[in-house]
Chains A and B, each alone.
Chain A
Amino acid sequence: AQSVTQLDSQVPVFEEAPVELRCNYSSSVSVYLFWYVQYPNQGLQLLLKYLSGSTLVESINGFEAEFNKSQTSFHLRKPSVHISDTAEYFCAVRIPGANNLFFGTGTRLTVIP
């Protein structure tokens, strides 16, 4: 069975400060990894994904995540956050051959002016 753990339910951070949102997963098979963002009253938007290849993946708005197989982690980072980054972030895994995503419980990022 697969499971995803997001260690921090809430992360407050000042504007222009760096942030790291942690994600660890458990699986007996290889997985694909995703980060989704959810703004208030909205659905989920894909932020970035790791399928194969380079373990460092980047999004167009400055976020990056690194797949660490030995630590079974896929932490999300941004060197300088903006007010507009305030949202809930979900880490998810998908196993090859299946279409459903297993989500973590989410981390609410609040950027403080």
Chain B
Amino acid sequence: KAGVTQTPRYLIKTRGQQVTLSCSPISGHRSVSWYQQTPGQGLQFLFEYFSETQRNKGNFPGRFSGRQFSNSRSEMNVSTLELGDSALYLCASSLTGATNTEAFFGQGTRLTVV
């Protein structure tokens, strides 16, 4: 079956703009989590959505937001982009989000802010 699909793969934006990233989870998976990966901070958890509700949130400013649709697809939005937002954004899906279920990662969206 198809894996986790993230679009676009690469993105270049200007400081101050906003951006929306998309994640389509594996069919049947209802939990979607987002992570930011940077050389300096490593992999950091942004938020998790389950059945269209944000269930858990990391320590990121309010400029980072997300949502999940009824088909479990998720979008992540970053407003007023800063240079430090340049990163690889990874999406992970799992069946229920229970701690004993495996999280499958997409290939990520590489965002460059100039």
A interface residue numbers (CB < 8 A to B): 32, 36, 41-46, 49, 51, 90, 92, 94-106
Contacts and interface: CB of A to CB of B under 8 A. Distances in A.
A103 B107 contact: no
A103 B99 contact: no
Interface in B80-108: 90, 92, 94, 97-100, 102-108
B26 interface: no
Given A43-B107, A99-B48, A104-B42, 16 more contacts: A43-B105, A43-B106, A44-B92, A44-B105, A45-B105, A49-B102, A94-B99, A96-B99, A99-B31, A99-B103, A100-B48, A101-B43, A102-B45, A105-B42, A106-B42, A106-B43
Interface of B: 4, 6, 31, 33, 35, 42-45, 48, 50, 55-56, 58, 90, 92, 94, 97-100, 102-108
- Majority SS of interface residues in chain B? strand
B33 A99 contact: yes
Contacts of A104: 42
A100 B56 contact: yes
A98 B107 CA distance: 23
29 contacts: A32-B99, A32-B100, A42-B108, A43-B105, A44-B90, A44-B92, A45-B105, A46-B103, A46-B104, A92-B43, A94-B99, A96-B99, A97-B99, A98-B99, A99-B31, A99-B33, A99-B48, A99-B55, A99-B94, A99-B98, A100-B45, A100-B48, A101-B33, A101-B43, A103-B35, A103-B42, A105-B42, A106-B42, A106-B43
